[in-house]
């Protein structure tokens, strides 16, 4: 059976490549770009350098992106784009900035409100040229066919999917990650590990996504602790940046599974950064999922160097779970309780989180498809558990 592959038209790799933005924009026919970024980056040298490079092109900056972008920020961005007569998009930042730019582009080309395109709705037309420049090594949004936007009316994180969401080009400049703090390094790194693991065990996996996912998980597992402990280690930063992008290509072409399905409502209701909510869930969800594909999880453990080639499947998969719990301790990943969430509010919202997790479609890609009761059990299990 054949399969499609979705990647940007151009991916430019390497230290300092973000300075080549003007050349790349001209290749794509852009003349008046709108730069989309978040409030944290708005006053940084990264953005000032980008604006300086594009100033002659009539660039403007939309810097109101929030950590969990909503339909409101997207609508504001569309208004700025139209009022400025822009013809292209440049996003710089983490997944929130890139996801917001994707959503802006879709509305520019198709009209309506962003909730109109919640998966599985189709996206008929491609947006304007979009160059994505990630500043974190984690989300992979710069190469994916997905965006996640919070719907303030319906109180949920919406998954929007389609080939037209893949950025036209991506610039992968690891030097932009050298100033990332430890917590962000850990969370985005675990996010990219989750992308690789879930892509590999997904029911939608294919031979190409398998190759990408195996390589990505091996590199991330080896280099994330170094990037976490030594923020200025250029080798670790370069390895993590490349692996995060490769993991993004893997899950964009195989989809994610139960961890992401459960993570989105957990993040929406309690404002937990996406990578951190994935980290809270990953060990327990992996343990739950192993009976559905013990061989695939064993292959992950062996690719990551956690298990030996001679280990039986169930033994290797169990070693993987133990290692994931241990890694969370090393990276100081809190449980939802330790994060400061009120217990009564958490359990009050469990039924709603179950409903939204299932509605996202991601759990159906899991090797072991959960029932409502099983998802509820996992939410209860991760409340305070580290093992």
- Rounded to a whole number of angstroms, the distance between the first and last alpha carbons of the chain is 40
- By C-alpha distance, which of 327, 344, 141 is closest to 220? 327
147 three-class SS:
strand
pLDDT of residue 386: 60
Distance CA 370, CA 303 (A): 26
Residue-wise pLDDT tens digits, 72-116 = 999 999 999 999 999 999 999 999 999 999 999 999 999 999 999
Distance CA 224, CA 231 (A): 10
Residue-wise pLDDT tens digits, 126-171 = 999 999 999 999 889 999 999 999 999 988 889 899 999 999 999 9
Name the pairing type of β-strands 156-161 and 130-134: unpaired
The sign one gets for the Cα dihedral 18, 23, 28, 34 is: positive
Residue-wise pLDDT tens digits, 20-65 = 999 999 999 998 999 999 988 887 888 888 888 887 767 899 999 9
Beta pairing partners, 148: 159
As its CATH architecture, domain 182-382 has Up-down Bundle (1.20)
Query: Is-contact 91 127, C-beta < 8 A?
Result: no
DSSP code at position 340: T
Pick the CATH number of 10-177 from 3.40.50.10140, 3.30.70.1350, 3.40.190.10, 3.40.50.1970: 3.40.50.1970
The owner of tokens 């080549």 is 20
Distance CA 325, CA 136 (A): 23
Residue-wise pLDDT tens digits, 274-309 = 999 999 999 999 999 999 999 999 999 999 999 999
DSSP collapsed to 3 states, 174-218: HHHHCCCCHHHHHHHHHHHHHHHHHHHHCCCCCHHHHHHHHHHHH
Domain ranges of the chain: 10-177, 182-382
* In the chain, beta strands by DSSP E: 10-13, 33-38, 60-65, 88-93, 130-134, 146-151, 156-161, 169-172
């Amino acid at each position: 059976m054949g399969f499609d592959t979705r990647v940007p038209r151009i991916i430019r790799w390497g230290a300092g490549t973000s300075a080549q933005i003007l050349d790349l924009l001209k290749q794509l026919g852009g003349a008046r770009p709108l730069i989309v970024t978040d409030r944290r980056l708005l006053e940084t040298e990264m953005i000032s350098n980008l604006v300086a490079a594009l100033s002659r092109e009539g660039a403007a900056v939309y810097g109101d992106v929030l950590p969990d972008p909503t339909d409101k920020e997207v609508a504001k961005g569309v208004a700025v784009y139209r009022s400025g007569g822009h013809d292209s998009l440049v996003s710089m930042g983490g997944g929130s900035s890139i996801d917001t730019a994707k959503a802006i582009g879709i509305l520019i080309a198709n009209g309506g409100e962003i909730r109109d395109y919640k998966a599985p709705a189709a996206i008929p037309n491609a947006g304007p040229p979009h160059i994505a420049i990630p500043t974190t090594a984690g989300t992979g949004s710069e190469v994916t066919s997905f965006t996640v936007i919070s719907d303030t009316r319906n109180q949920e994180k919406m998954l929007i999917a389609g080939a037209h969401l893949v950025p036209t080009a991506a610039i992968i400049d690891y030097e932009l990650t050298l100033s990332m703090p430890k917590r962000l390094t850990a969370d985005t790194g675990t996010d990219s590990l989750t992308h690789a693991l879930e892509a590999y065990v997904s029911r939608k996996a294919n031979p190409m996504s398998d190759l990408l996912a195996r390589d990505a998980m091996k590199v991330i597992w080896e280099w994330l602790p170094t990037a976490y402990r030594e923020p200025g280690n250029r080798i670790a930063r370069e390895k993590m940046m490349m692996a995060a992008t490769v993991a993004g290509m893997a899950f964009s072409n195989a989809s994610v599974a139960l961890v992401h399905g459960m993570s989105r409502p957990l993040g929406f209701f309690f404002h937990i950064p996406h990578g951190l909510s994935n980290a809270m869930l990953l060990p327990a969800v992996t343990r739950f999922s192993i009976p559905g594909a013990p061989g695939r999880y064993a292959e992950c453990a062996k690719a990551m160097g956690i298990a030996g080639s001679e280990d039986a499947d169930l033994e290797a998969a169990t070693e993987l779970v133990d290692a994931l719990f241990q890694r969370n301790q090393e990276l100081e990943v809190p449980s939802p309780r330790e994060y400061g969430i009120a217990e009564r509010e958490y359990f009050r919202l469990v039924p709603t989180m179950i409903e939204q997790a299932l509605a996202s479609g991601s759990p159906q890609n899991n090797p072991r498809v959960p029932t409502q009761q099983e998802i509820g059990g996992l939410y209860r299990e991760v409340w305070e558990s580290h093992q």
